[in-house]
Structure 1
Amino acid sequence: EALTDGTVTDPETSRRYLRIIRDESGRLGDLTRVLLSLADLDAGVVEFDRGPVDAEALADSVRARFEPRAAERSVRFEVGALDAAVPLGDAARLLQAASAVVDNALEYTPPGGEVLVSARAEPGCWILTVDDSGPGIPPGDREAVFERFTRLDRSRSTTGGGSGLGLSLSRRLVRLMDGDVRAEDSPLGGARIVLELPAQAQAQR
């Protein structure tokens, strides 16, 4: 309202208000998409592919989506090579699950911190890890964070807290692809979220 009625005349103040409007609009759009995805999962109307996923295309998509946001927040954001193995699942749903985890990491990482995305292979598995240098997740909350609408202390968040739905959606999607998601301590001092999926046999690559 202050922008439309001419109350705000300082250009820098106007830009700040516009950034707030843009960010909040983006958050509302993300929340709507998550809610719709959960509703579709509850209704059993989501279809999944069961094929090999291009892990480097996944890495490119994650970089493109989150590098600008990380730069705005002065957070070091790095996505390493994710093709340690070939994950099996649905490419679009895996991107959705990984994005929810990265979004959560950025939510809780303060300016000057870092978020690192990497992958490794274990026998029969492709394992994606998202590490952040935020305040971490206490051991007693590491299952609760995957329940819908669960948010930890708002003081942990750099923006006042997310929806409490992203990690729940991520685990739901990955489990439907015969994998799992868990929370651990990160060597960066914050949280590590681990997504584990079946991998294509090495000889078939």
Structure 2
Amino acid sequence: MTDMDDDDSIAQRKMQFLYALRSKGVTNNAVLGAMEAVDRGPFIRGLFAERAYEDMPLPIACGQTISQPSVVGLMTQALEISPRDKVLEIGTGSGYQAAILSKLARRVYTIDRHRRLVQEARVVFDALDLTNITALTADGSFGLPEQAPFDRIIVTAAAEDPPGPLLAQLKEGGIMVVPVGQSDAVQHLIRVRKTADGLEYDEMRAVRFVPLLEGLGKDT
């Protein structure tokens, strides 16, 4: 196979990737542009690397998963990010979601309870020259009060209810997107808007995420 054939194959996979996103409801041009700009491949290692461009969740280290791209796109779209926003992500995982956010926001803070995942994500961020991401090992259920308030908060692990400490760190006018559910079988993606009059909730769609756990991972 020639280099030109390789280029054609990559271009075709990208076209199919973007078509799959649109067909699942990701229609915001800025979000689609960010997802086109960030290659999912470097965030997936080992046996599943060849499936990086498929719209499916894949296992990563520490018993976690990288979400399917359409869910990443829908959650990002729901945040309605503007270029001046400061965003907090709970659950760094592979780092893919944070990389997408970094193309849309001024600053991204991402937290994970597994030190190994944070270290591996930092390597990819550096390789991709994503300089507006700060990745930290910490208990994400408490957020990051020293950097609060945040314009946007995204949680990539399921809680029984939208976590109070995170809601407290959300600016008035801010948006939080979080999967909510008491089991891994019944979860719904919720968008919370913080207004002067209180909190407004929108239920978006059924999802399946790993649970939001307190404390640090065993590898830390």
- Compute the TM-score of the two structures, normalised by the length of structure 2: 0.25
> Which structure shows the bigger proportion of residues in helix conformation?
1
- Compute the TM-score of the two structures, normalised by the length of structure 1: 0.27
More relative contact order, 1 or 2 (CA 8 Å, 6+ apart) = 1
